Structure 1
Amino acid sequence: MSRLIIYPDDAPDTKLLDTGVPSAIAEALRPLGVRFERWDAPVTPSKEAGAEAVLDAYRPYLDGLMGETGAGSADVVRLNAQTPDLPAIREKFLSEHTHDEDEVRFFVHGRGTFVLHLGGRVYSVLCTQGDLISVPAGVPHWFDAGLSPDVVALRVFTDMTGWIAHYTGDGIARRFPAELPA
């Protein structure tokens, strides 16, 4: 189940909001320019489905989203126990960073937490199957899918070179680890 927890950025033990209601999550993130929504596809491809099958299953949503945002490409990313260099990949996601374009992800299977750092607050957004999140360019954030991830997600890019991070050097991600329920 999706979940949003908001903390003051100087108090990791103080919850300002804790909700698992998708509409409340979207409402709380909207003023920040963060897009959060649920997509209900008529068919969910299997975890093992090829990239083209996954893209085809969500094509109507992707075409609409890419038309709205001017994005130029979409692909499928998988994180699981077979992912080469998984500990190194996880480590680079766990450090606070920004991007020059919106970071758009749709969770086909699995879950992961985007943690955003804005306006003196930390927003921990657990995304699960069916969730779309779009983190605006320039927003400091980090991501965690856990020690044993099992995620299939769509990524949407405007810049055809793909995922490029600009690390902030702030250690806040160590004070606010992503919340991934067991």
Structure 2
Amino acid sequence: MTLLTTWPESGPGTVLRRTTDPAEIDAVLAPAGVRYEQWPLREGPEEPDPEAVLRAYGDAVDGLVAAEGFATVDVVGLRPRKDLGWRLTAKAERKKFLMEHTHDDDDEVRFFVAGAGAFYLHIDREVHAVLCEAGDLLGVPRGTRHWFDMGASPSFTVIRFFHEEDGWVGNFTGSDIALKFPDFDALMATRGTSVLGVGQ
């Protein structure tokens, strides 16, 4: 279930909005050009294989590619494992995406096949945390300040859509705003509560 939490950009002391209602989430994000959809989940392998994932969602993927003119589609994911190499890689990836950035030439469009992750959108002096889970598609328009958190123990599989063949290219703003707001793990831990404060 998607969770949207909105705070003023000054910090998370005041929760302006907290909802799991898909219609309300869409109504809040759409004016900023953010694409939010929920796709029906499909049967797939327990250990995600990119080709199998793309086969399972072929019609939905093809429809979005045709409508939006995406040049590249791929599948990426991380799963908790005990080997040290994975932990180091996941930690480095998390740190990179946690820094506020924009994209000049592409939207950031992700469909969550499994697991969860949180996009933070810095729009019009507010920060919207969108906790996405399996079945959620989120499209962050180019030029939008944002960051992404996969948590301390990432577990997700996403289909990524790119207009540019270069893939993910971020322009970091240099702001430390991401450090002020509850992280992915705090969002997950407080989904059943009505108040969400600083979680870091």
- Scaled to the shorter chain, the TM-score interval is over 0.9
* Percent of aligned pairs with the same amino acid: 45
Give deviations 1:10-58, integer Å, cap 9, x for gaps. 13111111001122111110001000010014x2313413111101111
CA distance in 2, matches of 1:102, 1:178: 23
Matched, 1:171 2:170: no
- Do the aligned partners of residues 54 and 32 (structure 1) sit closer, same or farther apart at CA in structure 2, a change above 3 Å counting? same
CA distance in 1, matches of 2:127, 2:45: 33
Counterparts of 1:4-83 in structure 2, within 5 Å, are 4-41=4-41, 43-82=42-81, 83=86
Structure 1 residue 63: Cα displacement: 1.1
8 Å Cα contact 2:11/2:180 also seen in 1: no
8 Å Cα contact 2:48/2:157 also seen in 1: no
Matched, 1:90 2:94: yes
CA distance in 2, matches of 1:87, 1:47: 24
Kindly report structure 1 stretches of 4+ aligned residues shifted beyond 6 Å.
none
Unaligned runs of 5+ in 2: 190-200
Which residue of the partner structure matches residue 99 of structure 1?
103
8 Å Cα contact 2:11/2:181 also seen in 1: no
SS at match of 1:4: strand
Matched, 1:152 2:157: yes
RMSD over aligned Cα, in angstroms? 1.3
Q: Could you say which structure has the larger radius of gyration? A: 2
SS at match of 1:62: helix
Give deviations 1:61-105, integer Å, cap 9, x for gaps. 111111121111110011223446111110001000111210000
Tell me which amino acid in the other structure corresponds to 1:19: T
8 Å Cα contact 1:111/1:127 also seen in 2: yes
SS at match of 1:44: coil
Give deviations 1:108-134, integer Å, cap 9, x for gaps. 000000001011000000000000000
Aligned length: 181
Q: TM-score, length-normalised on structure 2?
A: 0.86
8 Å Cα contact 1:96/1:167 also seen in 2: yes
Name the stretch that deviates more: 62-71 or 113-122.
62-71
CA distance in 2, matches of 1:78, 1:47: 13
8 Å Cα contact 1:124/1:178 also seen in 2: no
8 Å Cα contact 2:45/2:52 also seen in 1: no
Tell me which amino acid in the other structure corresponds to 1:86: A
Give deviations 1:115-174, integer Å, cap 9, x for gaps. 010110000000000000000001010001110011001000111111111100011010
CA distance in 2, matches of 1:4, 1:142: 15
